[in-house]
Amino acid sequence: METRVFPLAILLGIAVLMASCSTSGAAESGSFSFGDNFDIMWSEDHFKTSADGQVWYLSLDKETGCGFQTKQRYRFGWFSMKLKLVGGDSAGVVTAYYMCSDPGAGPERDELDFEFLGNRTGQPYTIQTNVYKSGVGGREMRHMLWFDPTEDFHTYSILWNNHQIVFFVDRVPIRVYKNTEKPNDFFPNEKPMWMFSSIWNADDWATRGGLEKTDWKKAPFVSSYKDFNADGCQWEDPYPACVSTTTHNWWDQYEAWHLYDSQKEDFAWVQRNLVIYDYCKDTERYTKQPWECSLSPWD
């Protein structure tokens, strides 16, 4: 795999984007309160924080994992978190970072997924992304990474507006999921979603299709989190004023409806080098290509 060196134009574009992302829900460093922004979903005894409260740790052992969710729902916006994944032998372990319209993962949910699939020591992590609309998923993509995600924190982000959903890793777009003006059953744009993160055992499928099982002698497995950023439309019943198409927010302005040129360059490199699986190209699974696969991510 080629070594990626980002041109100055890309780095400047990233800097502009970072400057435009005002934080809603995350305070200045040193003053962030986990309890003000999140709820523990289960196994509070498997959740810890650093002494200053700025880094959060979820652990998995043979008994259970752990998870948390935002108190607030959102409909469209920019959502990011820094994660450091389980190191060493993490086969069977899944760290999930995702948005979902139903805390109970109900049959009609909308969902946007990052899932980090562990592996045996020395083997690379895999990122799986997925999109659900009204309970229908099956839109998986899998990517390799260009770094070891267990050595340091890296930023994983979702841009969601009425025109596209983009999954970013360190501000590099790895997946683009487009909408169309025609009525459709594949683009989630109606239901507000919470942001979640969790760690759990999935050794029935996560590593080499379930061939590699979790080695519980290596437990507890710990994933680390910090610097949550939500710059989005906070949902207010019955209907918020900041829904998409107002173009009041940067994440809904024209520039956020498409990849800009430097992002396209990064995305092309990812497509050439890092894609392991794309459901749109799985002709055995889908004898008829899903309709959304005909939409160009470049437009």
Q: Which among 69, 105, 65 is positioned nearest to 200, based on CA atoms?
A: 65
State the residue for tokens 């043979």.
Answer: 62
Q: Does residue 276 fall inside a structural domain?
A: yes
Q: Does residue 67 fall inside a structural domain?
A: yes
Tell me: pLDDT of 118 over 80.
Answer: yes
Report the pLDDT value the prediction gives residue 9, as an integer from 0 to 100. 38
Q: Does residue 22 fall inside a structural domain?
A: no
Tell me: pLDDT of 225 over 80.
Answer: yes
Residue-wise pLDDT for 132-165, tens only, equals 999 999 999 999 999 999 999 999 999 999 999 9
Q: Does residue 13 fall inside a structural domain?
A: no
Q: Does residue 45 fall inside a structural domain?
A: yes
CATH code for the domain of 216: 2.60.120.200
Catalytic (active site) residue 236: no
Which residues fall within 8 angstroms of residue 291, CB to CB, at 6 or more apart? 184, 186
> Annotated catalytic residue: which of 2, 115, 284, 292?
115
Catalytic (active site) residue 111: yes
Q: How confident is the model at residue 244 (pLDDT cuts 50, 70, 90)?
A: low
Q: Does residue 211 fall inside a structural domain?
A: yes
> Annotated catalytic residue: which of 44, 63, 108, 111?
111
Q: Does residue 209 fall inside a structural domain?
A: yes
Give the chain's domain count.
Answer: 1
**pTM for this model (two decimals):** 0.89
The range of the structural domain enclosing residue 136 comes to 36-294
Residue-wise pLDDT for 56-97, tens only, equals 999 999 999 999 999 999 999 999 999 999 999 999 999 999
User: Can you list the positions of beta strands (E) in the chain?
Assistant: 38-42, 47-49, 56-60, 66-70, 74-84, 93-100, 111-117, 126-132, 141-143, 154-160, 164-169, 172-178, 194-201, 221-234, 275-278
Q: Does residue 53 fall inside a structural domain?
A: yes
